Structure 1
Amino acid sequence: MSRMTVPQGAALSIGAVLGTGVIALPALAAQIAGPASILAWIAMIALSVPLAATFAALGTRYADTGGVATYVRRAFGARAATVVGWCFYFAVPTGAPAAAMFAGAYVAEAFGGDRRTVLLTAALVIATVTVTNVGGLRISGRLQLVLAGLLAALLLVATVTALPHARWDNLEPFAPHGWLAVGSAAAVLVWGFAGWEAVTSLAADFRRPARDLPRATGIALVVVGVLYLGVAGTSLLVLGADTGSTEAPLAHLLAIGVGGEVRVLTALVALLLTIGTMNAYFAGAARLGAALGRDGALPGWFAQGSAPGQVPRRSLAVLGLLSALALAGVAGTGIGPGLSVQLTSGSFTLVYVLGAAAAVRLLPVGSWSRRAAVVSLVAVSALLVMTGVYVLWTLAVSVAALLYARRRRSGSPELETAAPQPVMSRSETAAPLPGVSPPTDRTNGSAGHRPLVDRTVAVHERDVAV
Structure 2
Amino acid sequence: MSDDPTPVRQARPPAGPEEGAASRRGLRPGLGDRQMSMIAIGGVIGAGLFVGTGSVVHKAGPAALLAYAASGLLVIMVMRMLAELSVASPRTGSFASYAAREFGGWMGMAIGWLYTYAWWVTVGVEAVIGGGLVHRLLPSVPAWAAALLFMLVLTASNLAAVRAFGELEYWFALVKVAAIVLFIGLGLAAIAGALPGVPAPGTDNLLGQGGFAPHGWYALLPAALVATFAFNGAEVVTIAAGEARRPAEAVRRAIRSTVLRILVFYIGSVAVIVTLLPHGEAGIDESPYSAVLGRLGIPHADLIMDLVVLVAVLSCLNAGIYTSSRMAYALAAGGEAPRLLARSNASGVPVPAVLAAGLAGLLTACANYFFSTDAVFDFLVASSGSVIVLLYLCIAATQIRARGRAEREGRGLPVRMWGHPYLPWAVVAVLAGLFALLALDPETRRSLLLTLAVAAVAVTAGLIRQRRRRQSPADPGRSAPPQGGTP
Query: Which letter does structure 2 place at the counterpart of 1:405?
Result: G
From 243, 247, 268, the counterpart of 1:230: 268
Where 1:250 maps in the other structure, the secondary structure is helix
Instruction: Name the CA distance, whole Å, in 1 between partners of 2:214 and 2:132.
Output: 26
Where 2:282 maps in the other structure, the secondary structure is helix
Gaps of at least 5 residues in structure 2 are: 1-27, 191-197, 346-350, 409-415, 440-444
- C-alpha contact 1:96 1:126 (8 A) present in aligned 2: no
* Residue 168 (structure 1) aligned with residue 194 (structure 2): no
In the superposition, relative to structure 1, how do residues 160 and 15 fare at CA in structure 2: closer, same or farther (>3 Å)?
A: same
From 437, 453, 470, the counterpart of 1:396: 453
Query: Which letter does structure 2 place at the counterpart of 1:307?
Result: R
Instruction: Name the CA distance, whole Å, in 2 between partners of 1:34 and 1:405.
Output: 44
In the superposition, relative to structure 1, how do residues 361 and 245 fare at CA in structure 2: closer, same or farther (>3 Å)?
A: closer
| 1:219 Cα deviation after fit | 2.4
Which shows bigger deviation, 133-142 or 181-190? 133-142
From 322, 325, 349, the counterpart of 2:367: 325
From 31, 47, 57, the counterpart of 1:20: 47
- C-alpha contact 2:39 2:169 (8 A) present in aligned 1: no
In the superposition, relative to structure 1, how do residues 407 and 205 fare at CA in structure 2: closer, same or farther (>3 Å)?
A: closer
In the superposition, relative to structure 1, how do residues 56 and 82 fare at CA in structure 2: closer, same or farther (>3 Å)?
A: same
- C-alpha contact 1:31 1:245 (8 A) present in aligned 2: yes
Residues 84-107 of structure 1, C-alpha deviations (whole Å, 9 max, x = no match): 122212212443465456656766
- C-alpha contact 2:68 2:228 (8 A) present in aligned 1: no
Instruction: Name the CA distance, whole Å, in 2 between partners of 1:98 and 1:28.
Output: 19
| Equivalent in the alignment of 2:172 | 147
- C-alpha contact 2:107 2:462 (8 A) present in aligned 1: no
| Equivalent in the alignment of 2:283 | 244
From 343, 368, 372, the counterpart of 1:307: 343
From 385, 388, 397, the counterpart of 1:348: 388
In the superposition, relative to structure 1, how do residues 416 and 16 fare at CA in structure 2: closer, same or farther (>3 Å)?
A: farther
| Equivalent in the alignment of 1:256 | 295
Instruction: Name the CA distance, whole Å, in 1 between partners of 2:115 and 2:167.
Output: 24
From 189, 214, 226, the counterpart of 1:188: 226
- C-alpha contact 1:32 1:177 (8 A) present in aligned 2: yes
From 31, 49, 66, the counterpart of 1:39: 66
Where 2:283 maps in the other structure, the secondary structure is helix
* Residue 378 (structure 1) aligned with residue 429 (structure 2): yes
* Residue 156 (structure 1) aligned with residue 181 (structure 2): yes
In the superposition, relative to structure 1, how do residues 131 and 257 fare at CA in structure 2: closer, same or farther (>3 Å)?
A: same
Instruction: Name the CA distance, whole Å, in 2 between partners of 1:307 and 1:5.
Output: 23
Aligned length: 417
| 1:347 Cα deviation after fit | 0.4
Aligned-pair Cα RMSD in Å: 4.2
Query: Which letter does structure 1 place at the counterpart of 2:387?
Result: S
Instruction: Name the CA distance, whole Å, in 1 between partners of 2:128 and 2:458.
Output: 29
| 1:161 Cα deviation after fit | 1.5
* Residue 69 (structure 1) aligned with residue 96 (structure 2): yes
Residues 42-89 of structure 1, C-alpha deviations (whole Å, 9 max, x = no match): 101222332222122212222444311121111111111111122212
**TM-score in terms of structure 2 length:** 0.71
Matching of residues 189-204 of structure 1 within 5 Å: 189-201=227-239, 202=241
In the superposition, relative to structure 1, how do residues 203 and 52 fare at CA in structure 2: closer, same or farther (>3 Å)?
A: farther
| 1:176 Cα deviation after fit | 5.0
Matching of residues 72-91 of structure 1 within 5 Å: 72-91=99-118
- C-alpha contact 2:39 2:166 (8 A) present in aligned 1: no
| Equivalent in the alignment of 1:432 | none
User: In percent, how many aligned pairs have the same letter?
Assistant: 21
| 1:354 Cα deviation after fit | 0.4
Query: Which letter does structure 1 place at the counterpart of 2:153?
Result: T
Instruction: Name the CA distance, whole Å, in 2 between partners of 1:4 and 1:132.
Output: 20
- C-alpha contact 1:49 1:221 (8 A) present in aligned 2: yes
Where 2:352 maps in the other structure, the secondary structure is coil
Instruction: Name the CA distance, whole Å, in 2 between partners of 1:387 and 1:348.
Output: 12
Where 1:363 maps in the other structure, the secondary structure is helix
In the superposition, relative to structure 1, how do residues 289 and 192 fare at CA in structure 2: closer, same or farther (>3 Å)?
A: same
Residues 229-259 of structure 1, C-alpha deviations (whole Å, 9 max, x = no match): 1222222332322213442222333333361
- C-alpha contact 1:94 1:343 (8 A) present in aligned 2: no
Compare relative contact order (CA 8 Å, sep 6+) and give the higher one, 1 or 2.
2
| 1:263 Cα deviation after fit | 3.5
Residues 108-138 of structure 1, C-alpha deviations (whole Å, 9 max, x = no match): 8767x8xx99xx64x4554234333665357
Instruction: Name the CA distance, whole Å, in 2 between partners of 1:124 and 1:235.
Output: 35
| 1:152 Cα deviation after fit | 1.3
Where 2:40 maps in the other structure, the secondary structure is helix
- C-alpha contact 1:24 1:247 (8 A) present in aligned 2: yes
Matching of residues 419-434 of structure 1 within 5 Å: none
Instruction: Name the CA distance, whole Å, in 1 between partners of 2:472 and 2:320.
Output: 28
Instruction: Name the CA distance, whole Å, in 1 between partners of 2:448 and 2:175.
Output: 34
| Equivalent in the alignment of 2:9 | none
- C-alpha contact 1:97 1:327 (8 A) present in aligned 2: no
Which shows bigger deviation, 364-373 or 77-86? 364-373
Query: Which letter does structure 1 place at the counterpart of 2:299?
Result: G
**TM-score in terms of structure 1 length:** 0.73
